[in-house]
Amino acid sequence: MIPAQIEGSNNPRAKPGAEIREVAIADMAGRSPLAQLLHALNQPLTGLQCGMEVALARPRTPEQYAAGLQEGLELTERMRALVEAIREVAEGLGESDDARAQNGEWETTELSAILRATVEDLKPVAESKSVSLGLECASSWAVKVEPRGLTGVVFRLLESALSAAATGSEVRIEGSAAGGEWLRVCWEADPPRSALSRPELGLLIAQAGFERRGARWERTRTGKQEILTIRLPGTPRGNWSS
């Protein structure tokens, strides 16, 4: 679950000699979000089993037993969060959106309106963290997809990015329907972050939701800067404004 780090100096904006770390976070050698979550679940399960085996191997002091129980509770909490994320992803995969799309039952939905409404809903959370939300997208940007499901996926995406953003920074949301449709979310985070944190689990759930709708998810990090690009399938062009 912990991504490999790649060092390089091909960023044209980097100072000479500066070390640039770029991390491919979401791909994990091509694994799906569900596969990543299942892989991550194996880690606390193994830790819990090892802790119990050690506790039974020989007599221990009350303090050692208490420490072992505390560690077991922490591992169990991590497993509960992962199981909840797995449930959300699995339920999404089990929905009948694909069948409805084949029957022509998907509705044309204004993605720009969903983005604006979601940003408005998240403004109180952003203010409490001293994080600014910047949105630049088309005044009319339509996608053909089940509207309620898309609203939830967009909310999960932006809420998770906001939760991961460093205090006093900005979460920037941009969209383009010209020359290939994409949605981009950028934010600054303070590394290191746990791959099992709530924001990371939320981003995996959002990734599964977008990919189920035919989108391609690309995520990288350069220094503290996170860049998430979602390439949307077949979105018609809209009328643009900033």
Alpha-carbon separation of residue 81 from 43, 128, 170, 199, 216 (angstroms)? 13, 24, 27, 11, 25
Is-contact 90 83, C-beta < 8 A? no
Residue 32 banded pLDDT, cuts 50, 70, 90: confident
What pLDDT score was predicted for residue 169?
A: 95
Q: Residue 99 pLDDT > 50, yes or no?
A: no
Q: What are phi and psi of 199, to 5 degrees?
A: -60, -40
- Integer-rounded Cα Rg, in Å, for the chain is 21
Greatest pairwise CA separation for the chain in angstroms: 72
Q: Is the peptide bond before 199 cis (omega within 30 degrees of 0)?
A: no
Residue 95 banded pLDDT, cuts 50, 70, 90: low
What pLDDT score was predicted for residue 91?
A: 81
What pLDDT score was predicted for residue 4?
A: 32
Which one has a higher pLDDT value, 17 or 66? 66
Q: Residue 188 pLDDT > 80, yes or no?
A: yes
Q: Residue 229 pLDDT > 90, yes or no?
A: yes
Q: Residue 226 pLDDT > 70, yes or no?
A: yes
Mean pLDDT on 18-43: 65
What pLDDT score was predicted for residue 145?
A: 66
**Nearest CA-CA partner of 153 in 237, 95, 113, 213:** 213
Is-contact 143 108, C-beta < 8 A? yes
Mean pLDDT on 113-140: 92
Q: Residue 20 pLDDT > 80, yes or no?
A: no
Mean pLDDT on 59-67: 91
CA distance 183 to 49: 42
Most confident by average pLDDT, 17-21, 26-30, 117-121: 117-121
Most confident by average pLDDT, 19-23, 63-67, 210-214: 63-67
User: Within 10 Å of residue 188's Cβ, how many Cβ atoms?
Assistant: 18
Task: Name the percent of the chain in helix, strand, coil, to the closest 5.
Answer: 50, 20, 30
CA distance 215 to 232: 5
User: Within 10 Å of residue 8's Cβ, how many Cβ atoms?
Assistant: 11
- Give per-residue pLDDT as tens, 149-181: 888 999 999 999 999 999 999 999 998 766 568
Mean pLDDT on 126-143: 87
Instruction: Report the chain's mean pLDDT, rounded to a whole number.
Output: 78
Alpha-carbon separation of residue 133 from 90, 127, 130, 225 (angstroms)? 30, 9, 10, 15
What pLDDT score was predicted for residue 105?
A: 56
Joined tokens for residue 122: 């998240």
